Amino acid sequence: MLYPWQTEQWRSFSLQYEQKRLPHAIILTGVNGLGQLSLANKMVATVLCEEPPISAPCGGCHNCQVFAAGNHPDHTFVGPDESGKQIKIEKIRELKQKHTLTANIAKWKTSIIWPAENMNISASNSLLKLLEEPQSNTLLILISIKPQLLPVTILSRCQKVPLAVPTNKQAIEWIEEQDQETYKEIEIKRALSLSNGAPIEALRLLSSNSLYFLEQISKDFNHVLSGAANPVILAQQWQQFDLHMVLYYLQLKLKQRLVKNIESSGNNIVINDWAMYDCIIDTTKLLSSSHNLNKVLLIEKFMVKAMNLTSR
Ligand SMILES: [Zn+2]
């Protein structure tokens, strides 16, 4: 499936394929929720297809059918065993093993690594060797929303295909076309802002009622700050949520308040709010820096720090 905001990237890929100048490795980047995996799958399906280079897989040949069924012997999908965990070296070793064999039923061997930034250091090093000695007729697609976490040596050996977010107008139109449910425009805009403009992620937020939960979380947080709620109990509750999203929501709310306060009362009043802003950003950085964090402890520390800032 091709989303309306992917047409440029698709056109350029199919042109390269038709002209037989595809790179061995591609990295698809862009914020979460732009359908990177869907685009990668379409690229893979195109090169596995038995029909001569055409701008899309035929869907009817044996290769297309086996790939659609999810068990094509010449395609390897590499991901962590559990969402959010590391991709270990064993997975990359298996991939390399497969790449040394001749293709079974297609003319190409393909692989997708997602999310590529979850590879640990030894997995990255192992992948680098594969990138340094690419076999002919192989296509490796890395998908990453945080390419800055990948070694430069890997990035420099991949063709970068960045996916940009569509305009707000296009995104709103697309969301309205997708769902039976009708959302208020203000809700759609808020969901888009929370998802950095990515329509698929925004739609997920809308259809899962996440905005309601996030608003509740924001209220609970204010209760903690005023001493009316217990941070330890709240930290337990928060661990079930996407913490990046929670922190980002708090950051957005704070930003709105800061803008409003600066306009109404000048800079001096809002010093604590700026400190709080820093505190949220620091916690987000900590959260991104490791895959094996004790989330409850992290949230507790964050709340205690926030309470100290408020009581100053
Ligand atoms: Zn086909």
Does the bond joining 115 to the residue before it have cis omega, within 30 degrees of 0?
yes
**Residue 61 CA to ligand 1 centre (angstroms):** 4
Distances (CA, A) of 88 to 48, 77, 103, 117: 27, 13, 24, 12
Ligand 1 centroid from CA 136, angstroms: 21
Low-confidence stretches of the chain (pLDDT < 50) are: none
Q: For the chain, what are the domain ranges?
A: 4-162, 209-311
> What residues does 29 pair with on adjacent strands?
162
The pLDDT, as a whole number, for residue 191 is 92
What is the per-residue pLDDT for 82? 85
With H, G, I as helix, E, B as strand and everything else as coil, classify residue 211. Answer: helix
Paired with 143 in beta bridges are 28
Task: Note the pLDDT of residue 264.
Answer: 73
Task: Give the Å distance between the CA of 64 and the centre of ligand 1.
Answer: 4
How confident is the model at residue 287, as a pLDDT?
87
Query: For residue 26, which of 34, 35, 51, 36 has the smallest C-alpha distance?
Result: 36
Q: Return d(Cα 210, Cα 213) in angstroms, integer.
A: 5
Give the pLDDT of residue 270: 65
Distance 71 CA to ligand 1 centre (A): 15
Give CA angle at 237 (233, 242), nearest 5°.
Answer: 145
Contacts of 17 (CB under 8 A, 6+ apart): 46, 47, 53
Spatial distance between the Cα atoms of 116 and 169, rounded to a whole number of angstroms: 31
Confidence at residue 292, expressed as pLDDT on a 0 to 100 scale: 73
Q: Which of 140, 46, 152 is CA-nearest to residue 95?
A: 140
Compute, in angstroms, the gap from residue 109 CA to the centroid of ligand 1: 15
How far away, in angstroms, is 66 Cα from ligand 1 center? 10
Query: Contact at 8 Å (CB) between 238 and 246?
Result: yes
| Ligand 1 centroid from CA 63, angstroms | 6
Per-residue pLDDT, 84: 77
Full-model pTM = 0.83
pLDDT, tens digit, for every residue of 100-129? 888 889 999 999 999 999 999 999 999 999
Alpha-carbon distance of 17 to 45, in angstroms, equals: 12
Cα of 127 vs centre of ligand 1, distance in Å, is: 29
Phi then psi for residue 138, to 5 deg, are -120, 145
Domain 4-162 adopts which CATH fold?
Rossmann fold (3.40.50)
pLDDT confidence of residue 255: 84
Fold of 209-311: Zinc Finger, Delta Prime; domain 3 (1.20.272)
